[in-house]
């Protein structure tokens, strides 16, 4: 194994040490070019590490995802979502007492200021819930101005509890607003996921009861979405944190990044795609269209996984549980057929395109009665656990500085200003 990289040009020879599988990009600067010190060019940060992190490990070729060393499959089977959130932030699985205390700290912060409901109400009835979520999350900073004192560990922790506690309340309020219903207040009687479901679906007329199998299916989805190392939204959170921001402002940036159809918005796009395909006999034609460059097979492919996304495997089991309770959805047959054809087609095989977490999650959300606009919100709620862990890691890492990438300038060289009358 190489432990250093030799750089040798006509004028300079240098040896860059390889540590943790990487060289320091600043080491390249020993080489002078016509544009100044040598830099690396990496659109989309495909091969550039922007931080050192001990939260989540992924081996994309082997299809491995681990949080703090624990495989996602085991966490999804044995843990609760709040237990995983504890693990992400604290590095260890909690004891029973630590978990009870953590749950108490998160759950006691579930209520939001009444004015937040007015913020949500000020949106049009058909506003996308992600926009309402982003606005209501960033507004928390104004209700808790001391959250800006990010150098104080106690305040960092308090506001992390607040955000994790309030996220389901805010998410549910955006949904209630869309359907023209009053928000439902959080209940101390219910756990994190069940309380979320109650705040979404409770009606004035009858006490809402969740089927435990459906609650567990959503809890599993929450665990699967809790963190995924330096993805687009977590990178947005870290970037906004790096200029010295509170957890609410950073999470709002994460929500914006997550909204895109290439990231968290993909599950909504998958459902749209399945509806457009409409029937099993149109699947081959759709696949051919993708191969001819007419759109993408949404829910397939991943920047990191070049093998089956381990989260997609767990989700497939949850799909069975949910459909057992709710009955079959014809779109599931289309999804299964798409997967079968794509996994045997050279276009997808040669590009290592496999189903990702979003391929089946939308079908589960639909079976749980969520409209498709809510799907990305259902991703944002659990991902907050990961964002909080990364926000804290970013702020406490002595190596870190404000994130400010270089560019390779491709524009004009200096030229003479042309007055308006001469243009």
- Can you tell me the distance from the alpha carbon of 68 to that of 300, in angstroms, rounded to the nearest whole number? 27
Written in H, E and C, the secondary structure of 378-422 is HHHHHHHHHHHHHHHHHHHCCCCCCCCCCCCCCCCCCCCCCCHHH
Q: Which is catalytic among the residues 177, 302, 309, 390?
A: 302
Binding residue for ligand ACO (CB under 6 A) from 67, 156, 238, 302? 302
Please, which of residues 312-351 interact with ligand ACO by CB under 6 A?
351
263 as an active site residue: the answer is yes
Binding residue for ligand ACO (CB under 6 A) from 55, 119, 236, 357? 357
Nearer to ligand ACO, 116 or 277 (CB): 277
CA atoms within 13 A on the CB side of 242: 17
358 as an active site residue: the answer is yes
Q: Which is catalytic among the residues 263, 321, 345, 397?
A: 263
Binding residue for ligand ACO (CB under 6 A) from 106, 240, 253, 290? 290
Least Cα distance to 199 among 325, 318, 374 occurs for: 374
Nearer to ligand ACO, 169 or 356 (CB): 356
182 as an active site residue: the answer is no
Please, which of residues 4-63 interact with ligand ACO by CB under 6 A?
44
CB of 261 to ligand ACO, least distance (A): 7
Assess 301 for contact with ligand ACO (CB under 6 A). yes
- Quote the distance between the C-alpha of residue 398 and its chain's center: 25
Nearer to ligand ACO, 300 or 387 (CB): 300
Least Cα distance to 390 among 88, 12, 7 occurs for: 88
Written in H, E and C, the secondary structure of 96-143 is HHHHHHHHHHHHCCCCCCHHHHHHHHCCCCCCCHHHHHHHHHHHHHHH
Assess 297 for contact with ligand ACO (CB under 6 A). yes
Q: Which is catalytic among the residues 227, 246, 309, 358?
A: 358
- Can you tell me the distance from the alpha carbon of 133 to that of 129, in angstroms, rounded to the nearest whole number? 6
Assess 310 for contact with ligand ACO (CB under 6 A). no
Nearer to ligand ACO, 169 or 235 (CB): 235
Pinpoint the alpha helices (H) of 243-329: 247-259, 266-277, 283-291, 310-326
Assess 222 for contact with ligand ACO (CB under 6 A). no
Nearer to ligand ACO, 67 or 166 (CB): 67
Cα distances (angstroms) measured from residue 212 to each of 99, 325, 369: 21, 10, 15
Number of residues that bind ligand ACO (CB under 6 A): 19
Assess 376 for contact with ligand ACO (CB under 6 A). no
Binding residue for ligand ACO (CB under 6 A) from 247, 266, 335, 363? 266
Least Cα distance to 366 among 333, 334, 300, 322 occurs for: 322
- CB 106 within 8 Å of CB 250: no
- CB 117 within 8 Å of CB 143: no
Assess 358 for contact with ligand ACO (CB under 6 A). yes
- Residue 352 DSSP SS3: coil
- Can you tell me the distance from the alpha carbon of 104 to that of 188, in angstroms, rounded to the nearest whole number? 10
Residue 189 exposed, middle or buried by CB count within 10 Å (0-12, 13-18, 19+): exposed
Binding piece for ligand ACO, criterion CB under 6 A, among 88-96, 132-140, 317-325, 355-363 = 355-363
Binding residue for ligand ACO (CB under 6 A) from 12, 100, 111, 262? 262
CB of 369 to ligand ACO, least distance (A): 22
Assess 113 for contact with ligand ACO (CB under 6 A). no
Assess 274 for contact with ligand ACO (CB under 6 A). no
* Residues labelled catalytic: 263, 302, 358
Residues that bind ligand ACO (CB under 6 A): 44, 262-264, 266, 290, 296-303, 351, 353, 356-358
């Amino acid at each position: 194994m190489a432990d250093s990289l030799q750089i040798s040009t006509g004028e300079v020879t240098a040896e860059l040490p390889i540590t943790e599988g990487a060289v320091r990009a600043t080491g390249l600067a020993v080489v002078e070019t016509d544009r100044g010190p040598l830099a690396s060019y990496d659109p989309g940060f495909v091969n550039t590490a922007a931080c050192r992190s001990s939260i989540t490990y992924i081996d994309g070729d082997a299809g491995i995802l681990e949080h703090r060393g624990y495989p996602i499959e085991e966490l999804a089977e044995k843990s609760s979502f709040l237990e995983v959130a504890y693990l992400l932030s604290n590095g260890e699985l909690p004891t029973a007492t630590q978990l009870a205390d953590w749950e108490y700290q998160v759950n006691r912060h579930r209520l939001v200021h009444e004015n937040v409901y007015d913020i949500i109400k000020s949106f049009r009835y058909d506003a996308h819930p992600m926009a309402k979520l982003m606005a209501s999350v960033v507004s928390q900073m104004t209700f808790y101005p001391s959250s800006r004192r990010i150098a104080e560990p106690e305040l960092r922790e308090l506001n992390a509890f607040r955000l994790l506690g309030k996220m389901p309340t805010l998410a549910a309020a955006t949904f209630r607003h869309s359907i023209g219903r009053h928000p439902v207040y959080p209940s101390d009687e219910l756990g994190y996921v069940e309380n979320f479901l109650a705040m979404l679906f409770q009606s004035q007329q009858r006490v809402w009861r969740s089927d435990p199998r459906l609650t567990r299916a959503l809890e599993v989805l929450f665990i699967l979405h809790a963190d995924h190392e330096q993805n687009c939204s977590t990178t947005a959170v870290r970037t906004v944190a790096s200029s010295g921001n509170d957890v609410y402002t950073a999470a709002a940036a994460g929500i914006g990044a997550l909204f895109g159809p290439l990231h968290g918005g993909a599950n909504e796009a998958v459902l749209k795609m399945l509806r457009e395909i409409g029937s099993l006999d149109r699947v081959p034609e759709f696949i051919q269209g993708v191969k001819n460059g007419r759109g993408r097979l949404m829910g397939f492919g991943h920047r990191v996984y070049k093998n089956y996304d381990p989260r997609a495997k767990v989700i497939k089991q949850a799909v069975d549980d949910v459909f057992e309770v709710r009955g079959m959805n014809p779109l599931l047959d289309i999804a299964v057929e798409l997967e079968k054809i794509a996994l045997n087609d050279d276009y997808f095989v040669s590009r290592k395109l496999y189903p990702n977490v979003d391929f089946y999650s939308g079908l589960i959300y639909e079976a749980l009665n969520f409209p498709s606009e809510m799907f990305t919100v259902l991703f944002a709620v659990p991902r907050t656990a990961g964002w909080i862990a990364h926000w804290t890691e970013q702020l406490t890492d002595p190596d870190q500085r404000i994130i400010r990438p270089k560019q390779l300038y491709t524009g004009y060289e200096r030229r003479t200003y042309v007055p308006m009358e001469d243009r």
